[in-house]
Amino acid sequence: MYRAQPERIGRLKQPWKGKINPFKIIDGVYFVGTYQASSHLLDTGDGLILFDTGYENTTYLVLNSIHQLGFDVKDIKYIVNTHWHGDHTEGTAPIADLSGAKTVIGRKDAEKAKQYFDPDIIVKDGDSITLGNVTVRFMETPGHTEGTISFLFEKEHDGKKYLVGSFGGAGANTLRKDTVEFDGAREMYLDSIARLKKCDVDVFLGNHCWNNDTERRYQEMVKTGKNTFIDKTAWTEFLDYCEDRVLKILQAEKNL
């Protein structure tokens, strides 16, 4: 059962309280983020791709997590930013500076992202990046922001291929009448969900840890030895939740 974003003010003011120990999700895919915002690392066999970097004041935690896993930040070749909001991009400039990585953002978020970093690669729907043995595909999924991008890639784990995916901007905090960032945002958000539902995702990476119950799934994996992240139902259940949440917002507005 998914729920609304939990209280996190204390962890924002004291970022160390949001520390989550890094761990392997499936072969080559790792969680390196914090409670405040998720970050994921992909080992392609010929360099690393980092997805989202979190807040500026948690950058040291992300870097430490990468180091704890035995990786070198200088091996990061691309930093993919799912949308321009600071909780996903404030750490991009310092990590890009340390690593020399190319920064990636969706075309309609590129201008706003410049307040946090200078984009090197601007992607549109259907674009992809290939590094080593992995091709990451991008979908434009506007709604949360106008230029939100979601990503998909195939990765082998224990001899079997799985489709890994992430909804790049699931939050409804920008979809209420008084917070909408651009015209048609709610309609585009619902259309993005409909498109994402057509993707047969096996491993769902949450944009925030509460999207896919990151901590609970990891604890269960440690306790039972079963990989709880390989779960076809998690993707569609979350998308259903996101859709229902926005429909309720729209209905509530009609009832005013």
Query: Are the beta carbons of 90 and 52 closer than 8 angstroms?
Result: no
Query: Are the beta carbons of 39 and 18 closer than 8 angstroms?
Result: no
Mean per-residue pLDDT pooled into runs of 10, the chain (256 residues): 49 85 98 96 98 97 98 98 97 98 98 98 98 98 98 97 97 91 95 98 96 95 95 96 95 84
Give the pLDDT confidence score for residue 148 in this predicted structure.
98
Q: Which pTM does this prediction carry?
A: 0.95
- For 23-49, what is each residue's pLDDT tens digit? 999 999 999 999 999 999 999 999 999
Give the pLDDT confidence score for residue 6 in this predicted structure.
52
